[in-house]
Structure 1
Amino acid sequence: MSEAPIWSHRFRMSDLSRGPVVVSLEADETVRAALAKHLGVRAIKSLTAEARLRPWLDGAEMGGRFEAVVEQESGISLEIFDQVVTGPLEVRLVPAGSPNAPDPEVEIELDPEAPDPPEILEGDVIDVAAYVVEHLAVEIDPFPRKPGETFEYKPPQDDDSPFAVLKRLKDDNG
């Protein structure tokens, strides 16, 4: 049995037969708290998305944008700060068994300029919120820095190379 998603907004592919649909989402406080824990950030202060779903081949295409305000801790100063995280929503979906689905037996050549192959849906439902969470997770900086912060490495004053250690031993014993 699969675990229930933290945030879900399900849309049936058959509803696209009437034409494109725009879905606007906004996560409430409870969802944002659960997502923050799930994504390993201090807090998610806001999360909104607008997705446009339209028919594509024998499946669907989702486009749009999301925006979130994520509270993070700087990896340099350990100060807490808010980071605006935005990104596009770009997903193509086809039903299982579709002739347009990628063949699992064929090796896919990775081309960063080419569109991603379509994802295969299990059933007739697109969980728009789950795709928003997936895209948000990719865009969150795993090594956050407060805006304007820079890391300046200062090597230790002592030379700890093996030769320097031997020299100090020789000087101490000599």
Structure 2
Amino acid sequence: MKRVVTAKSWSPYLVGAGIGMHSWFAFLSADHPLGITTAMEHTAALAEQAVVPSLEENNKYFEQESPKIGWQWMLVLGVFIGGLVSSLASGDRNAPAVPPLWHQRFGPSKTKRFVAAFIGGVLLLLGARIAQGCTSGHGISGTLQLAASSWLFTAIIFATGIATAFTLYGREGRNHV
């Protein structure tokens, strides 16, 4: 088991089985599917509430939702801690700030790389909220429930990711993915 934990790459079958078990545990214990973007939505609402409390009175969001730091935020924290523990256990902490393919295509600027990553993250979060679910909400929980919308979402996210990689990196990116 120690060899598996310290490996830099895990079997996709082992990981898939683990995610499936985790998802069903969430259904059994919390009666709710996995999802992370709702935690981000709640965080933004709580921040708005803290900064401008009077906006809550006229905001329809607060009529439908009760933003909180709940179990979904614990999932976000768990993903972060799990990634950190995995990185420390495997010794795989040498990811460059500017990967070679990015450097070749866009230059050595860390700032440009971080700004592009931030914008990409914002677009992903926005898209997930519009789709009413993210890769964990639709791609894992929804497909496990055989929801047609989740299967469509998953196909579209893969197709969009492939198209984006080819647009940004061209054919040479195919060997680095």
Considering the TM-score relative to the shorter chain, is it more than 0.5?
no
If the TM-score is normalised by the length of the shorter chain, which range does it land in? under 0.3
More helix by share: 2
TM-score by length of 1: 0.25
For normalisation by structure 2, the TM-score amounts to 0.25
More strand by proportion, 1 or 2? 1
Which of the pair has more CA radius of gyration?
A: 1
Structure with more contact order per residue of length (Cα contacts < 8 Å, sep ≥ 6): 2
